Structure formats: C-alpha cells, structure tokens
C-alpha cells in the first residue's frame, strides 16, 4: 500500500512540476510531510540540503532520498527502502519523459512550419532570460555569505569572478567546481 501511494504521489509531483527541480521541492514537501506524514519537516530539510550538495538533478536526488527515508520510517527493511527510493525516482520522471518524447516527435514533424519557427526564434531569446533569472535567484547569503568585509563574502565574490571569466574562456566546469571546493577547503581551514 505504501509503495502504491509512493508511486502515485511521485507521479503527480513529476507531472505538475514546471521550472525544474527547484520548483519540485515545494510539491514534494507538501506531499510527503503534509498529505502523508511520511517524513517530519525537519527530516525533509536535511534531505534537501544533501540533495543540493550532491551531484545530479536536485529533483531526482530529493525523490530518491525521500523514497528511501519514507519506507524506512514506516518500519520496513533497508532493502525495501532501496526499492522505495528507485520507485520514487522512477515515477517522478515517468510522465515527463513520455510527454517530452511526444513533443520532440511532434516538433520534428512540424520543422519548417512558419509559425513553429517564429515561436522558437522568440523562445530562444526568452530562455536566455530564464537562465539569467536562475543565476540571479541564487545570489543569496546561502551561497555567498552575508555582505561585508568577511572572509566568506570576499572569497565568494573572488571565486564567482574567477569562475565566471574562466568559464567564458571554456575552462571545464568540472575542473572549476573541484578547484573552488579546494580553495574553500584550504582558505576556511587556515
């Protein structure tokens, strides 16, 4: 029964999330802490922190971790919790994947259509603004520390500027992330 509910909940979460994993978080939260009491709000916050700090899509990470913890909390064995985790992440992507496949097939058939072309010419410009908005929304004290003459804030600004410039010069993002992490590890340990 719990597994069926997990499947249904995450199917809904996947279908009604627009705007990527960060938008998904609010939906998962209301579903698993309010509607079903699978997790305490405190547990959910912990899960969120881990999901954002580990590699991979935030929506997948949150779903996987939530599925695992919810089943474990209900008194099942760890191997069943692993199944719960796979079920949650599988059902969260099921409907979006089907819809995306249909959309791409449709668009490939309408290529060269004047209306579709015009829509995408405008959409390409708007999408650039959407990414800018994502970056602007991350300019927070969580990422940079509180503004002021503190080590964290000044170091964060320097890292931001350095990574920005190096990224424009096509230095590998993976290298930049690892280097920034090492700089943080050394600087904050001194």
Q: Residue 41 or 182: which CB sits closer to another protein? A: 182
Dist. CA 60–CA 52, nearest whole Å: 11
Sign of the torsion formed by the C-alpha atoms of 68, 74, 77 and 83:
negative
Residue 146 interacts with another protein (CB under 8 A): yes or no:
no
**Among 1, 4, 124, 149, which residue interacts with another protein (rule: CB under 8 A)?**
124
Q: Residue 8 or 138: which CB sits closer to another protein? A: 138
Residue 50 interacts with another protein (CB under 8 A): yes or no:
yes
**Among 6, 14, 31, 38, which residue interacts with another protein (rule: CB under 8 A)?**
14
**Among 112, 115, 148, 149, which residue interacts with another protein (rule: CB under 8 A)?**
115
Helix (H) or strand (E) run with residue 146 in it:
none
Closest residue by Cα to residue 38 from 2, 90, 10: 2
From 2-10, 34-42, 60-68, give the range in contact with another protein by CB under 8 A.
60-68
Dist. CA 66–CA 77, nearest whole Å: 15
**Among 2, 11, 74, 86, which residue interacts with another protein (rule: CB under 8 A)?**
86
Task: Give the burial string for 137-163 (b: 16+ CB within 10 Å, else e).
Answer: eeeeeeebbeeeeeeeeebbeebeeeb
Q: Residue 2 or 95: which CB sits closer to another protein? A: 95
């Amino acid at each position: 029964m719990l597994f069926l509910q997990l499947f249904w909940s995450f199917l809904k979460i996947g279908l009604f999330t627009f705007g990527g994993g960060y938008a998904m978080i609010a939906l998962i939260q209301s579903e698993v802490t309010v509607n079903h009491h699978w997790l305490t709000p405190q547990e959910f916050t912990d899960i969120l922190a881990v999901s954002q700090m580990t590699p991979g899509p935030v929506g997948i990470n949150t779903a996987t971790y939530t599925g695992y913890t919810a089943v474990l909390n209900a008194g099942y064995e760890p191997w069943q919790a692993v199944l719960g985790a796979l079920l949650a992440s599988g059902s969260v992507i099921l409907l979006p994947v089907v819809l995306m496949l249909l959309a791409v097939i449709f668009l490939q058939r309408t290529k060269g259509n004047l209306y579709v072309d015009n829509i995408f010419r405008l959409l390409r410009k708007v999408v650039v603004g959407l990414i800018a908005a994502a970056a602007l929304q991350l300019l927070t004290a969580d990422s940079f520390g509180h503004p002021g003459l503190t080590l964290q804030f000044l170091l964060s600004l320097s890292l931001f500027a350095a990574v920005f410039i190096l990224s424009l010069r096509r230095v590998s993002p993976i290298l930049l992330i690892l280097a920034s992490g090492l700089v943080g590890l050394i600087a904050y340990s001194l």
